[in-house]
Amino acid sequence: LQQRRGLRLSAPAAIQVTVRDALNQALDEELERDERVFLLGEEVAQYDGAYKISRGLWKKYGDKRVIDTPISEMGFAGIAVGAAMVWLRPVCEFMTFNFSMQAIDQVINSAAKTCYMSAGSIAVPIVFRGPNGASAGVAAQHSQCFAAWYGHCPGLKVVSPWSAEDAKGLLKASIRDDNPVVVLENELLYGVPFEMSEQAQSKEFVIPIGKAKIERQGTHVTVVAHSRPVGHCLEAAAVLSKEGVECEVINLRTIRPLDMETVEASVVKTNHLVTVEGGWPQFGVGAEICARIMEGPAFNYLDAPAVRVTGADVPMPYAKILEDNCIPQVKDIVFAVKKALNI
C-alpha cells in the first residue's frame, strides 16, 4: 500500500550486536540448519556456557545436541574427533585455548592428519573453538595466543575473528567446512558491540575462510593484524591520520590459509608494512607474513624494512601494569608506523 502511494520503504538498518551474541546466533542457526551439528564442552549446556556463548541452546535443543562434559579436554576432544570421523559435525568448546594443550594430540595427530593419512577417504568436519590470547588479570597459564601454534600445522584451518560479523560469518563457515577448523575467539571482545549489516543478519551469511578484509583504506603504510589488535590498529590509524599519515588496516580474519594476495596488493600500493599481534614474536604470525613478503613479488616495492609489533617475549605477568606493557598498545603501533616511515 505504501509503495502504491509512492512512499519509499527503507531497508532494515544495521544493528548493534556483541561478539557474544553473534557467536550465539551462529551456533543456534547451524544447530537448526543441520541435525548433525552438536556442541560439547565444559558447562556449555545447563550453565549456558562459561562466557554465555551457548546461552539458551540447551533448553532449545536438549541433551543430545548440547552436551556438558567432564573437565577432561583430551577425553571430550577425542570423542568429538571420533564423531566427526563418522560425519557428525561437532563443535568442541575449550573454556580457554590454553587448556587445548591437554588435547593437542587429538587436535593435531587425530583431527588434522587423518584426511591426509587416509588418502582423502576420511574427512574430519570438526570445529575447535573458545577464547584465545590474553584476557585480563589471569597471568601466564591463561594468556597465550595460539594463532602461530595452530597456524603452523597442515591439515587445520585457523580463523581469528575481530568484529561481530567476523565472529558469526567465520563460525558458520567453519561449522559447514569438511576440514578441522580452529576458531580463536577473544574473551575481551565478547561483550563489545559492533555494527552488523542487514546481510550479516541473514541465516545464510558466511564469510569465506581464507579471505582478509581491508577495514580502512590508506596510502602510506599497510598495517596487518588479527583479533583484538585490529581495533588497536584502527585507533592508531585515526591518531596518525591527524598527522597526515594514512594507514591501510587489514583484518586477516584467517590465519591458515593466509590471504597473502590482499596483503601483497596493499604493500605494492603503500610501500611499507607493519604487522601487529598479541602473540610472542619468535615464529609468530607477523614473522610468517614478513617472510612471505620478502620471498614474493611485493618485496621489490618495499621502501623500508617491515616492522613487527608483538606481545613481549615473556610469560604473561599477573600485575596489571606489567600486563599492559606485555600487550601491544595503540602507542606501540603508532611508534612502529613512524619507525617504518622514518618519521
User: Known catalytic residues?
Assistant: 73, 142
Rounded CA gap, 198 and 329, in Å? 32
Residues 6+ apart with CB under 8 A from 22: 164, 165, 167, 168, 194, 196
Under a CB-based contact definition with an 8 Å cutoff, are residues 150 and 244 in contact? no
Beta strand 89-93 pairing with 127-131: parallel
Rounded CA gap, 281 and 283, in Å? 6
Q: What cell does 154 get?
A: 597442515
Residues 6+ apart with CB under 8 A from 240: 246, 247, 334, 337
Q: For CA atoms 21, 150, 255, 86, give the dihedral sign.
A: negative
Q: What do you get for the CA distance between the two ends of the chain, in Å?
A: 61
Q: What cell does 240 get?
A: 596518525
